[in-house]
Structure 1
Amino acid sequence: MSAPQFKPPAKTYGGATAWGWVVIVVCCVGMLAGLVVFALRDTAVPASQIENDALFAAGGDPSRIRPLALYRGQKVTVFGDSWTSGYSADPPTLGFAHLVGSRLGASVTAVLGAGGTGYVNPGKKGVGNYLARMRALPVDPDTRLLIIQGGLNDFKDNANLAELVVQTIAVARQKFPKAQIVMVGLAPPKMSNSARRIDTVLQSAAEASNVPYISPVQEDWIAEDNVAAVIDPSTEHPSTAGHAYIADQMVRALTALAPPAPSES
């Protein structure tokens, strides 16, 4: 009868054999990969959100805001709400947007106004909010100055106002690749804490996007002593004279953003 052969015991590591640890590692890797795939599937971040996060993380850099290059013969585009469209002016071509272009000596003034819309508000006619409207525009390589006006229609629903402003500016840069962009905030006929808060949000979003911001709220364009001369009470919009006044204020503010003219020696 032959003697039983001796088999050395398998090496163990922490109570498990080497092959056992291999199986455990493979299983863990598989489970981890499955979890990653599941997480990526359910929590994929849209490109627009990544863009927003990058812009807000930068916090804006005032040194990157170039002085405006205002010169006669350039194409000016004004994008905004019913104020931009010239509503309540008689005729609408006497609205502030047309007047601003004329006073700046623009060769062409494109007016893209849609009543009731805002950065958040799509308007009652379903035109779309500013971001949707901006995305629908064709690329315009000719505009050299793009003025984005608004905020007055975003009082009720403005939880994601800042994000939508940043996205709108990002798309505007794609649609108007050669244009300098300026944001103009709301000019409420009656001042309120809500108006001030929206103005602050708009300014912060503009600064985060390195875009100059003109604040009618902070500059008191409309106050108790002139509201009757600026706003038509029957429409709650600027009258013809009011549009002319708004144009004066806007041209003054835009000129202030341009470098001073060289002095004659």
Structure 2
Amino acid sequence: MNRFANLAMIFTLVAGLISCNTKEKNASEAKADTAAAAAAPPAKKKTIVFFGNSLTAAYGLDDPSLGFAGLIQKRIDSLKLNYKVINAGVSGETTAGGNGRIDWLLKQPLDIFVLELGGNDGLRGIPVSETRKNLQAIMDKVKAKYPAAQIVLAGMQIPPNMGQQYASDFRQVYAALAKENNVKLIPFLLEGVGGESKLNQPDGIHPTAEGHRILAENVWVIIKDLL
């Protein structure tokens, strides 16, 4: 009996040692995994480019980050999404001007491209065919350089100052281009803001900070599924 008792004691001690070694090994491996994770560089942020005119540039606001593009960045940050917003808005920009500077902008990689141009074309009475051609050219250049990029087209409307037919043709350009190019469409960027005096600055064209919050919602509804 003593022999069997001694054997049982030996087996117990060996099992205990194996168990301790296993626990120490697991703890060591866990520490190594944690250290490796801490040492790993953070994932590179993807880029959203807002390419537009004074609406994108937040014209008239003391703090450009209060414009809709800046508000989109704040929402992205609050949701801890791995994206950075680049505001490429230039006040007074027409679609021709945008087509002229897009090549320079495309020197930097992008993942989502939000095209907000055309409003100044409409206010100047530029032929709708020219606006359409320039918007298409801009999208073609983006797709050629970054085929995997998602494109979002911000629709615009203008008052009938240039005539009802011109205003109608202008409005329809955006929906037609979005369908032909299979890109996301913001039906009307200024929905809920255009024509509302309390939501616009004294010029009646550029939104106030409160107006930009509505624009940001109009944009977010469309782009959130792309993030």
Match of 1:263 in 2: none
Deviations 1:56-81 (A, max 9, x none): xxxxxxxxxxxxxxxxx532111000
Q: 1: distance between equivalents of 2:185 and 2:221?
A: 13
**Structure 1 residue aligned with 2:113:** 146
Name the aligned partner's letter for residue 133 of structure 1: R
Normalising by structure 2, report the TM-score: 0.66
Deviation at 1:236, TM superposition (A): 2.6
1:116 aligns with 2:85: no
1:35-75 per-residue CA deviation (whole Å, 9 max, x = no partner) reads xxxxxxxxxxxxxxxxxxxxxxxxxxxxxxxxxxxxxx532
Q: CA deviation at 1:169?
A: 0.3
Give the CA deviation at 1:109. Answer: 1.0
Q: CA deviation at 1:107?
A: 3.4
Shifted more, 80-89 versus 129-138: the winner is 129-138
In structure 1, distance between residues paired with 2:94 and 2:197: 25
Q: What is the alpha-carbon distance in structure 2 between the residues aligned to residue 99 and residue 191 of structure 1?
A: 31
**How is 1:29-178 mapped onto 2 (pairs within 5 angstroms)?**
74-105=46-77, 107-120=83-96, 129-141=97-109, 143-155=110-122, 156-158=125-127, 159-178=129-148
**3-state SS of 1:111 partner:** strand
Asked whether the 8 Å contact 2:154–2:188 carries over to 1, the reply is: yes
Q: Higher helix share goes to which structure? A: 2
Residue 183 of structure 1 is aligned with which of 144, 153, 156? 153
Identity across matched positions, percent: 23
Cα offset, 1:86, TM superposition: 1.2
Query: Is there any run of 5+ residues in structure 1 with no aligned partner, and where?
Result: 1-72, 121-128, 260-265
Give CA-to-partner distance per residue, 1:143-180, whole Å, 9 cap, x none: 22111112111121123222222111000123444421
Q: Does the alignment pair 1:228 with 2:197?
A: yes
In structure 2, C-alpha distance between the alignment counterparts of 1:176 and 1:241, rounded to whole Å = 34
Change (3 A) 1:173 1:101: farther
Against the structure 1 CA distance between its residues 191 and 239, is the aligned structure 2 distance closer, same or farther, given a 3 Å change threshold? farther
Structure 1 CA distance for aligned equivalents of residues 184 and 87 of structure 2: 20
C-alpha distance in structure 1 between counterparts of 2:75 and 2:59, whole Å: 19
Q: Which residue of 1 aligns with 2:212?
A: 243
The RMSD of aligned alpha carbons is 2.5
Give the unaligned 5+ runs of structure 2.
1-44
SS in structure 1 of the partner of residue 211 of structure 2: helix
